[in-house]
Amino acid sequence: MTAKPKVWIARPLFPEVLARLAQHFDIEAEALDRPHDATELKQKLAGVDGAIVGLSDRVDASVLEGNTRLKVVANLGVGHNNLDLDALTRAGVLASNTPDVLNESVADFAWALMLAAARRIGAAERWLRAGHWPGSNMRFDDWMGLDLHGRTLGILGMGRIGQGVARRASGFDMRVLYHNRSRLPELVERECRATLVDKPELLRQADFLVLVLPFTAANRHAIGAPELAQMKPSAVLVNIARGGIVDDASLAAALREGRLAAAGLDVFEGEPQVHPDLLALDNVVLSPHIASASAQTRRAMANLAADNVIAALGQGEVAGKPPTPLNPAVLHHR
Separation of alpha carbons 54 and 295, rounded Å: 17
**H or E element in which residue 186 lies:** helix 186-192
132 belongs to the catalytic site: no
Nearest to ligand 8YV of 35, 316 (CB atom):
35
Nearest to ligand 8YV of 292, 324 (CB atom):
292
Beta partners for 265?
Answer: 239, 286
Nearest to ligand 8YV of 77, 145 (CB atom):
77
Residue among 6, 14, 67, 79 that touches ligand 8YV (CB under 6 A): 79
Q: What is the DSSP letter of 309?
A: H
Separation of alpha carbons 89 and 331, rounded Å: 10
- Which residue pairs from 216-219 have beta carbons closer than 8 angstroms and sit at least 24 positions apart in sequence? 216/81, 219/244, 219/245
Size of the site for ligand 8YV (CB under 6 A): 9
Beta partners for 59?
Answer: 83
Tell me which residue has its CB nearest to ligand 8YV.
77
| Helices and strands, counts by H and E, the chain | 14, 12
Nearest to ligand 8YV of 55, 114 (CB atom):
55
Classify 111 as helix, strand or coil: helix
How far does CA 314 lie from the centroid of its chain? 30
The residue annotated as part of the active site, out of 151, 269, 271, 298, is 271
Residue 243 engages ligand 8YV in binding (rule: CB under 6 A): no
Residue 206 engages ligand 8YV in binding (rule: CB under 6 A): no
Residue 95 engages ligand 8YV in binding (rule: CB under 6 A): no
Q: Pattern 278-307, binding to ligand 8YV, x per CB under 6 A?
A: -----------x--x---------------
Q: Pattern 27-66, binding to ligand 8YV, x per CB under 6 A?
A: ---------------------------xx-----------
The nearest distance, CB 261 to ligand 8YV, in angstroms, is 26
299 belongs to the catalytic site: no
In the chain, the N- to C-terminal Cα span, in Å, equals 24
Distances (CA, A) of 20 to 153, 189, 228, 280: 42, 40, 47, 45
Classify 235 as helix, strand or coil: coil
271 belongs to the catalytic site: yes
The nearest distance, CB 214 to ligand 8YV, in angstroms, is 9
Nearest to ligand 8YV of 78, 202 (CB atom):
78
**What residues make contact with ligand 8YV under the rule CB under 6 A?**
54-55, 76-79, 102, 289, 292
| Active-site residue set | 242, 271, 289
